[in-house]
Amino acid sequence: MTIGPRALMERALLHRQPWVRLAAIVAICLAVALPAGAVLGLAGALYGTALLIGLAVGYLMLRHLMVGLLALVGVICLLPFAALPIDIGFSPTFLDLVLGAVFFVWAGRLVTRRDGDLRTDPPTVPVLVFVALAVVSFILGLSHARLTANNARHFAEILLSVLVFVLIINTIRTRRQLNVLLGALMVAGFGAALVGIVLYVLPDDLSVRLLSMLRVVRYPSGAEVLRYVEDNPELPLRAISTSVDPNVLGGLLIFVSTITAAQVVAPRPLFRRGLLVAMLLTMVGCLILTYSRGSFAGLAAAVGLMSLLRYRKLFWVGLGILVVLLILPPSQAYVAHFVEGVQGDDLATQMRFGEYRDALRLIARSPWFGVGFTGTPDIDTYLGVSNVYLLIAEEMGVVGLAAFLAAMGTFFWHFLGALRRCPPGAPLEAPLLGTGMAVAGGLAGGVLDHYLFNLVFPHAAALLWLVVGLGTVTIRLTATPEAEAEAEVATPSLAA
């Protein structure tokens, strides 16, 4: 009988002769150290260490799908624009690698039937229709714009980002898995907010040096990494963390702050309540420092709706934060900036109004399937507007926008049904309200920005559909008490 290498090594490690056990340990050390040393010697300490860490994480991702999903959350929140320092016609981003790995592992599980049948919880059908229409619009758009490798990559990223929804509803089956991903979102979001605040309060020169260290993973560097209101250094600095754009950081904070707020007032939170309060205050503080009015309005809408639907305490929390903003002298610049936007007096708001008019003119010329994702057919028009709904209509026409709204409408219809059957204080109440209202807040913020469906920000689209997927899983669990009971037995308390 042939003995495999693993069994042989186990026998050697457990052998009764000490010299055999010592030889086995030395052989294992050499087997690990020699390749690691070769990598460090050839690639250098920095790149070699990064490569070894990447290989270890990649191996774990291929072995365990949940590791890949946690890596996806980490990349979305902390390194959304990081890319490998290589060029193969384009530089693969960390998001590309993680998405490719998790979809590859999931496909393998489907082929081997380890996950059972393919799930199609609502709103899977409108989501797939939306993806199909995006492909149609992309192909039609090539009639007036040249296809480049960069455009093709960005479009593939946005498609995979939308399909994260299908991945989540087919791989997250229990409340334990749901809680793990929600906890990861809160922790990673808190980390992004903390980095944003620290970089904001540090001297500008030091912040520039720290952010410029990310140039090894293709981040921008130099003095231009700092962002100001209206891009005017005479106006207040805006927090960006590692999200490059303050509005994109604000969009991330809508989602993670809403999920955390639901946990703060939940009867049985995932973490200790004091820790959750500190995390939430950090997130809200960073969101204010972004000076993103759309993000603040989105978070206010999410928290306001949550307080109307179930958690009345959040109304007083939100009112307290608003009073603090109105009273404290350091926040007066933010309040003035917000009021200017409401009144339409500042340059950024006036430019938005101009974008809206131009977008409506472009949509009127190509109303059904849009102009695609690579350019416009007319020289007097351009692609891009600070409104996710108008942007979808530009690229995919009113048909594509209708599919997007149908997907969101289906999600919220089933969300309301789940909320009716979920009693107050139930374990799934906070995940249900947190994910549902996070999506609502993100969509509200999308009225004033475009990051949720923009080829330049695929991680933001992945975040949206990740949370929609987690909300859909929560809806399913509220309708399957036996699955919830099984998860209850298997799930240790994270607050302990």
Assess contact for 241 and 196: CB atoms under 8 A.
yes
Tell whether the model's pLDDT for residue 352 goes beyond 90.
Answer: no
| Torsion, CA 427, CA 428, CA 431, CA 436, rounded to 10 | -150
Residue 330: helix, strand or coil by DSSP? helix
The ranges assigned to domains in the chain are 72-490
Mean pLDDT computed over 48-74 = 75
- Band of the pLDDT at 54, cuts 50, 70, 90? low
Mean pLDDT computed over 3-25: 67
Three-state DSSP at 79 gives coil
Q: What are phi and psi of 276, to 5 degrees?
A: -65, -40
Give 408-442 pLDDT, tens digit per residue.
999 999 999 999 999 998 999 999 999 999 999 99
| Global confidence as pTM | 0.88
> Sorting pLDDT into bands at 50, 70 and 90, what band is 209?
very high
Residues in the chain: 496
Looking at residues 355-368, what average pLDDT do you find?
93
Beta carbons of 145 and 379 less than 8 angstroms apart: no
What pLDDT, on a 0 to 100 scale, did the predictor assign at position 314? 80
What average pLDDT does the segment 226-230 reach?
A: 90
User: Are the CB atoms for 247 and 254 separated by under 8 Å?
Assistant: no
Q: Are 476 and 293 spatial neighbours (Cβ–Cβ below 8 Å)?
A: no
Residue 177 dihedral angles phi and psi, to the nearest 5°: -65, -40
Separation CA 468–CA 168 (nearest Å): 9
Separation in Å, CA 83 to CA 79, 212, 397: 9, 14, 32
Output the pLDDT for position 181: 97
CA distance from start to end of the chain: 50
- Does 138 have pLDDT greater than 90? yes
Burial 41-50 (b: 16+ CB within 10 A, else e): eeeeeeebeb
Q: Is beta strand 227-228 parallel, antiparallel or unpaired with respect to 237-238?
A: antiparallel
DSSP class per residue in 339-394: HHHHHT-SHHHHHHHHHHHHHHHHHHHSTTT-S-SS--SSTT--S--S-HHHHHHH
Distance CA 265, CA 262 (A): 6
Convert the pLDDT of each residue in 70-128 to its tens digit: 999 999 999 999 998 887 777 889 999 999 999 999 988 888 777 667 889 999 999 99
Q: Which residue has the higher pLDDT, 17 or 97?
A: 97
Structure tokens at 197: 């605040």
Which stretches of 230-381 are DSSP H helices? 246-264, 273-289, 293-309, 313-327, 332-343, 347-365
pLDDT value, residue 337: 63
- pLDDT reading at 483 higher than 50: no
pLDDT of residue 490: 41
- Is the separation of the CB atoms in 410 and 422 below 8 Å? no
Residues 457, 304: Cα–Cα separation, whole Å: 27
Predicted confidence (pLDDT) at residue 243 exceeds the cutoff of 60: yes
d(CA 293, CA 251): 10
CA 61/CA 69 separation, integer angstroms:
8
Tell me the average pLDDT of the chain: 86
Angle at 128 between CA 125 and CA 134, to 5 degrees: 140
The 10s digit of each residue's pLDDT in 269-310 is: 999 999 999 999 999 999 999 999 899 999 999 999 999 998
Of the chain, the percentage scoring pLDDT greater than 90 comes to 61
Query: Mean of the pLDDT values across residues 39-64?
Result: 59
Give the mean pLDDT of 176-183. Answer: 96
